[in-house]
Structure 1
Amino acid sequence: MSMEIVDALLQGQRGRRLLWEFAIASEEESLPEYSQHPLHEAMYYASTKIDDLQRQRRASADPIIGTVQVWAQKLAESLERTELFDMKPHLLQEALENSVDSAMYWQPPYGQEIVLASPILRVQLERIAKHIAASKQIDYWFDPLDVATQHRVNFDPTGIVDPATDKKRTGLESLIAWKDHVLRTEARDARENQSRPLGNFSGVWWSAPNMYLEETCGQFSDGQPIGLSCVEDGFGWEKATTTMVDIPRSAQVLEISSAEQWVKLCQDHGIEVTAQKRHDWYRVTGRDGAWVIPDWLAVARKYDGVHLSIGAYLALAGECMSVDAKFATLIAGWDPDKTYWFIDDVRESEHSQDWKCLDAHSNDAHWVIDEDSSR
């Protein structure tokens, strides 16, 4: 299991970002607050320079390549001197949260993501991955769905309409509506976007089946539901209620744990989304070509739900995966350890908990139980 975890953390941009966040946390733990932080400073200058070059849209990629090599070497040298602290669950959780929060699949990768993908940093990132894996503290991040610890998370939309809170449709009705929406959007965008310059349009960029379907998540080792703090493109909610749910023991859940599984889904039950994803996913991956995602209505004929573990998320989210000679695919807009349910018999238990987010809209944001709630 340890080497599987190491490989997964190194494979994906979300995994590499987690490794970097842990390294930064180790540096902060080891140095006085007001002293120089070489890792943090080097990455700041590297990412700023790369982001500036990307915004200039130069015809040649050579300046970016050269900048990445120079700064990756400096970061590798700093990482080599960084002492890695003993595992603390809250540091791992914060590193995961920061990685999820930085996921954006409608624009080019940040300079940080580009630098972290450099082969020059491979040895030092692998050192961090082995250090984390050896602790055994994230083994459960790679486990299949635990039906005994599933939570429904309902955020206080604070005036923002949140379609995920509308559960009036059945699972089948939701899937039919989802597929109809995908087909209509594809036809419309095929008509309207052909003349648009590549990358000059943004639309529906996610590939998760998140149109009114029931969603659940597992929990961290301290019992906090993962879906409270690990949300791609969140709305900055400050209050939430989580409820334990009862999952039928007979439920057939599809586990997404490898690129091969996702690709096989697209091969067996694919639906083309080139027109609606082409512009966004070109900015994310640099690939100009045809795109496909799983047809969740077809998948639901065999399965009751589909689960993406934290480990699979770290390895696969945002990665361009080839399906065949024509099509590629992308996992986007799918939070770690989230399960989408196609069935209707997912029932709430009597155990609910109110939460509030302290220091919301800052780097120190964190969720705590709301003791003042009237619940």
Structure 2
Amino acid sequence: MPQNRRVLEPAALLAGPRGRRLCLELAGLAADAVATESCGTGQDSGGFGSARFYAAYNRDPDRGTSTVLFGPGAEQPVPNPTAQDVAALLEAVPLPTLTESLLLEALSSTVNSARYWQEPDGDDVLAATPAMRRALHRFAQQLADSPLTHWWTSPLEPAAQWNAAFVADPPRPPAPKGNTAETLTQWRLETPQDEANAVRERPSDPTSNWSGDWWSRPPWALPTSTRMMHGTELGPVRLGPVGLWLVEDGFGEDEAVLEALIPPAKARIYEIDSPEDWARLCREHSLEVTASKRQDWYRTTGRNGKWLMPDWSMLKEKYDAVHLTMGGYLTTAGREITIDEKYSSVLAGWDPDATYWLCEVPADAPSRQTWRQDPDGLSWAPQGDRPRCRTAPERGQWIYNVQGYRVSEVTTVLGHGEELWQRASKDVLTWKVKTRSGFSVDTPGPVVEGQNVNVTASLLGVKVVEPVQVVAVVDTPDRSGFAYSTLPGHPVSGEEAFIVHRDGDAVHLSIRSLTRAAPQQPWHGLFPVLLMVQKLVRWRYFRALR
């Protein structure tokens, strides 16, 4: 039960499926940054990103079913780069500058892609190849050496534990009522019964099409908590609990109620910081779950054998809580963990840095607060705080420099005179800068701050819906315009502002943008192409208000 911070080892990161995926996601973000900087310079900025995309697609077990290619060229033969090809291209990708936001983005993609009820996806399969492990080692080393990751192997901080209860739409069934002792007792009755039912009803063939409760974490009705994160990238700020950001198998909620928990003094905490820590816990008290987990855990690990998981009802006699460190998650989750010569186990369904409390833990009622996610999905803030506008259309001078974004500001002279000013300043606030440039919007009215709008574009012959939220509107005697932030599903991630302003008799249009690759495919792999399309569309904007 380690209490001091363990050093994060690159080899341990690359031994775990989630650790490898984190290194791959970090490499992808680094390649995106190169693509952003080199787009339009003639450099092959998309080499690694494209090769990774096709290599992962060809290795994905769902290829051709739930994972498909679409659009122009989809009927052509798909490139099939080898893992060695991808690794060679990765060698040319420079290490990124690590920041809090970059790490959170990579971690979020890593956690979101965990799936212990089916085979690893194509990216996980690719990252597990020997060639890619070797190529990813320098990214693992960078993570291990960074001061920003020191807390990943730190023990629980009892004074900084927060519970995050997501607000679902529509609401999900509430957790069963009762204290922790009752919850654990009920779990202890149900788990062996589920195993007995599985022995009776399920085939012993691990490849058969069965699934069930694939997780091995404690009962979900127990109190849970994660630490509050504090960022310094844009000045001192609370980023929110880890549990807001990193959720396995989540539902995409954008609202949560937070409460600080009050752990007991001198709480007995078991720390899971490595696969051996999980194995030790299973050896102390365990239940056999071979029949009920066989098919799911075979799919995720490839092992056909007997399985155990911890008996949480017995462990509560020795421990008040069990904490999974970030390092423990990255090195342990989703892999086969040998318990003895007969049994193995899998840590599954447990979010990073989460603590499950096996005792009663009251909440600090005055700390209760509601947080909401920003429209771009990249930050959380207390409810009531306005969505943060980054492109500042109300200001004449704009300076913005955050790692990972392509920053652009371009200005053109529309013309001169009061008549042009009156027309252009009104047109920009009724979406005409978009509709006269080949887009359509699903609102007939003027731009309104806080408004969610679907903008539809035709990209490479395919209709693409671009969901956005208006985050700022300016309407003054000399400046008129708005800014919107992208919402999930948009081909890129970031913000864009359109500002009509005048200097004396001259009327100008300025376009500001912050752009980076969207997290979802196929748009993530098409980011270099989208940047070129963005440049083309910008010239349409300049003509739209003349």
**TM-score relative to the length of structure 2:** 0.62
The aligned length equals 357
Amino acid at match of 1:294: P
1:367 is aligned to 2:380: yes
1:94 is aligned to 2:91: no
Amino acid at match of 2:190: H
Amino acid at match of 1:264: R
Q: How does 1:237-256 map to 2 (within 5 A)?
A: 237-256=253-272
Aligned counterparts of 1:311 and 1:111: Cα–Cα separation in 2: 23
State the partner residue of 1:202: 211
Structure 1 residues 261 and 140: alpha-carbon distance in aligned structure 2, compared to 1, 3 A threshold: same
1:4 is aligned to 2:8: yes
Q: How does 1:186-265 map to 2 (within 5 A)?
A: 186-194=195-203, 198-222=207-231, 223=238, 224-265=240-281
Contact 1:2/1:134, CA 8 A, preserved across alignment = no
**Structure 1 gap segments, 5+ residues each:** 57-68
**TM-score relative to the length of structure 1:** 0.89
Contact 2:281/2:310, CA 8 A, preserved across alignment = yes
State the partner residue of 2:59: 50
State the partner residue of 2:290: 274
Higher CA-based Rg: 2
1:18 to 18, 22, 27: 22
Contact 2:273/2:325, CA 8 A, preserved across alignment = yes
Contact 1:174/1:211, CA 8 A, preserved across alignment = no
State the partner residue of 1:60: none
1:348 to 361, 364, 380: 364
State the partner residue of 1:77: 88
Cα root mean square deviation, aligned:
2.4
1:161-190 deviations in whole A, cap 9, x for unaligned? 2444x4x31111110111111111111111
**Structure 2 gap segments, 5+ residues each:** 66-79, 232-237, 387-546
1:126 is aligned to 2:137: yes
State the 1:46 CA deviation. Answer: 0.6
Structure 1 residues 53 and 246: alpha-carbon distance in aligned structure 2, compared to 1, 3 A threshold: closer
Contact 1:199/1:282, CA 8 A, preserved across alignment = no
Aligned counterparts of 2:20 and 2:208: Cα–Cα separation in 1: 26
1:171 is aligned to 2:186: no
Fraction of identical pairs, as percent: 37
Contact 2:206/2:294, CA 8 A, preserved across alignment = no
State the 1:220 CA deviation. Answer: 2.6
State the partner residue of 2:324: 308
Contact 2:55/2:86, CA 8 A, preserved across alignment = no
State the partner residue of 2:484: none
Relative contact order (C-alpha < 8 Å, sep 6+): which is higher? 1
Structure 1 residues 284 and 55: alpha-carbon distance in aligned structure 2, compared to 1, 3 A threshold: farther
What SS does the aligned partner of 1:203 have? coil
Bigger fraction of residues in helix: 1
Amino acid at match of 1:336: P
What SS does the aligned partner of 1:14 have? helix
Structure 1 residues 3 and 302: alpha-carbon distance in aligned structure 2, compared to 1, 3 A threshold: closer
Amino acid at match of 1:212: A
State the partner residue of 1:320: 336
Contact 2:198/2:292, CA 8 A, preserved across alignment = yes
1:36-84 deviations in whole A, cap 9, x for unaligned? 422221111011111258889xxxxxxxxxxxx9622112111111111
Contact 2:161/2:228, CA 8 A, preserved across alignment = yes
What SS does the aligned partner of 2:134 have? helix
